[in-house]
Amino acid sequence: MSSAVHRRMLKEYLAIQKNSATRPHLELLEPIQEDDLLHWQAILLGTADSAYEGGRFRLDIVIPNNYPIHPPAIRFTTKICHPNVHFKTGEICLDILKSEWTPSWTLESVCVAISSLLTNPEPSSPLNCDAANLLRCGDMAGYNSLVKMYTALYAMDDEEQ
């Protein structure tokens, strides 16, 4: 059973290496250690023209043994201010990582989904109430400046994890 996971992860790894040029918002997506295909890391780049511009956000990805039937566990290790991301734990509230997961997703597609979540927040199911409240009140200036500040504080520095 677990060998099936390894096969699939190896497949994804090779596929990711092959078309690395076709994903502009994903700086990195690879296993942390070569011999452990069940623990990955990724670095998302903040989209240009958004409040996250210039930020590099690190993701920690843990693949369960029954992947792809079960979704991977993904969290931000870089602190990020976003209505659907827990500020302290980095937990991501995204339906496709929970109830709406289907085995046809790949790590790459999930990373793209998270990247698009950054620019399209869903304030109705918040993990970060402060950011969500700003959005719900329509205070875009406040929200954007808050996000910009935290991006500058935590996501600009290369050393920052």
Partner 1 sequence: MSNDITDPSDWPTEYASLREIDSHLRCPICKEMLRAAVMLQCHHNFCSECIRRHLDKESNCPACRIPTSTSQMRRNVALDEIANNFKDCRSKLLRILMESLEPKRNTSQQHGPLSRSNSMEIDDVALQQKRRRTSARMSPTNKSAPKISNDGSSNCSQDPNNMNMDLSLADDDNDDRDGDFVDVSSHESTSHHKGKHVTRSSGPVLRSRIPRSSNASTPLELSNNTAPAPELVSSTLPDFGPSNSASGAPTTSVPGSVLSKPSTLVACPICGNGIPFTYTNTHLDNYCLLKQNDPNYTIPYKVIITQKSDIIALYEKCGASGKSISNATANTSTSVSISSTTPGGSPRRTNDSQISPGLSFNSNGGKKPVATYPEPKRIPKLTYSILNDKQLRKKLQELGLPTHGDKQLMQKRHAEYVTIYNANCDATRPQTQAQLMKAMEVWERSYEKDMQTREAQRRALEQQQQIQQKELAQQKKKEEERAATENDTEPGTPTLSSSQSSSQNGGSNHVNNDAVAVAVATASAFAHALKYADEYAELIADVKKRMQADKEKKTLEDNQQAQMRTQPNS
Annotated active-site residue in 81, 93, 129, 137: 93
98 binds partner 1 (CB under 8 A): no
Cα dihedral 61, 64, 69, 75, rounded to 10, equals -30
Q: What is the DSSP letter of 39?
A: E
Q: Which of residues 19-38 bind partner 1 (CB under 8 A)?
A: 19
Residues in contact with partner 1, counted by CB under 8 A, come to a total of: 23
CB of 117: closest distance to partner 1 in angstroms? 19
| Residue 106, C-beta contacts closer than 8 angstroms, at least 6 positions apart | 12, 15
For partner 1, which is the closer residue by CB, 58 or 148? 148
- Which of 77, 55, 83 is closest to 143 using CA atoms? 83
39 binds partner 1 (CB under 8 A): no
81 is catalytic: no
The Cβ of residue 64 has, within 10 Å, a number of other Cβ atoms equal to 13
Which listed residue (46, 55, 68, 83) binds partner 1 by CB under 8 A? 68
103 binds partner 1 (CB under 8 A): yes
Place of tokens 């409040």: 51
CB of 78: closest distance to partner 1 in angstroms? 17
- Which of 155, 130, 160, 120 is closest to 45 using CA atoms? 155
Residues annotated as part of the active site: 93
What does the binding site for partner 1 look like in residue numbers (CB under 8 A)? 1-4, 7-8, 10-12, 14-15, 18-19, 65-66, 68-70, 100, 102-104, 106
